[in-house]
Structure 1
Amino acid sequence: MTESTDRTRPLAGRIALVAGATRGAGRAIAVQLGTAGATVYVTGRTTRAQASEVGRTTETIEETAELVTAAGGHGIAVPTDHLQADQVRALVDRIDREQGRLDILVDDVWGGEHLLGPSFGKKTWEIGLDGGLRMLELGVRTHVVTVHTALPLLTRHPGGLLVEVTDGTTAYNETHYRENVFYDLAKNAPIRMAFGLATELAPYEATAVCVSPGWLRSEQMLETFGVTEDTWRDAVAKLPDFAVSESPVYVGRAIAALAADPGRARWNGRSLDSGGLAREYGFTDADGSRPDSWGFMLAKEADPDTRVEDYR
Structure 2
Amino acid sequence: MDNKRILSGRVALVTGGTRGIGKGISVELARAGATVYVTGRTTRSGGSWPGSLDETVGEIEAAGGRGIGVACDHGDDLQVQELFERINGESGSLDVLVNNAYAPAIASGRSQEAEGAKFWELPIDAWDRPINVGLRSHYVSIVMAIPLLLQSKGLIVNISSAGAYAYFNSVAYGVGKAGIDRMTRDMALELDDRGISIVSIWPGLVGTERVSTNFSPSFASALIHNTRVVASRRAGAAPPDAISGEAATEADLHAITETPLYVGKAAVALAADPDVMTKTGRVFSVVGLAHEYEFTDVDGRRPDAFGFLVNPDAWPPLAKP
Structure 2 length normalisation: TM-score? Answer: 0.79
Q: 1:132 aligns with which of 118, 127, 132?
A: 127
1:190 — aligned with what? 180
Within a 5 Å distance, the mapping from 1:48-63 to structure 2 comes to 48=44, 51=47, 55-56=48-49, 58-63=50-55
Shift of 1:33: 0.3
Could you report, residue by residue, the CA deviation over 1:133-164 in whole angstroms, capped at 9, with x for unpaired residues? 22222222221221121222111232x00000
- CA shift in 2, pair 1:81/1:94, >3 Å: same
Q: Does 1:28 align with 2:24?
A: yes
Which sections of structure 2, spanning at least 5 residues, go unmatched?
Answer: 216-246, 312-320
Q: What is the CA–CA distance in structure 1 between the aligned matches of 2:36 and 2:72, rounded to whole Å? A: 14
Amino acid across the alignment from 1:294? F
Q: 2:65 aligns with which of 42, 67, 73?
A: 73
Q: 2:210 aligns with which of 220, 224, 240?
A: 220
Could you report, residue by residue, the CA deviation over 1:51-94 in whole angstroms, capped at 9, with x for unpaired residues? 5xxx31x3101211222222222100010011111111111011
Q: What is the CA–CA distance in structure 2 between the aligned matches of 1:215 and 1:282, rounded to whole Å? A: 20
What SS does the aligned partner of 1:109 have?
A: coil
**Structure 1 range deviating more: 132-141 or 68-77:** 132-141
2:159 — aligned with what? 165
Within a 5 Å distance, the mapping from 1:162-311 to structure 2 comes to 162-168=156-162, 173-174=164-165, 176-221=166-211, 237=249, 240=252, 242-296=254-308
Shift of 1:177: 3.2
Q: What is the CA–CA distance in structure 2 between the aligned matches of 1:109 and 1:125, rounded to whole Å? A: 25
**Structure 1 range deviating more: 259-268 or 29-38:** 259-268
Q: CA RMSD in A?
A: 2.5
Amino acid across the alignment from 1:22? T
Within a 5 Å distance, the mapping from 1:85-124 to structure 2 comes to 85-112=77-104, 114-115=106-107, 117=110, 119-120=112-113, 121-124=116-119
What SS does the aligned partner of 1:155 have?
A: helix
What is the total number of aligned residue pairs between the two structures? 277
Structure 1 runs (4+) greater than 4 angstroms displaced: 113-116, 222-225, 296-299
Amino acid across the alignment from 1:213? P
Q: What is the CA–CA distance in structure 1 between the aligned matches of 2:38 and 2:292, rounded to whole Å? A: 27
Could you report, residue by residue, the CA deviation over 1:144-190 in whole angstroms, capped at 9, with x for unpaired residues? 221121222111232x000000121xxx743x234443122122121
Amino acid across the alignment from 1:66? G
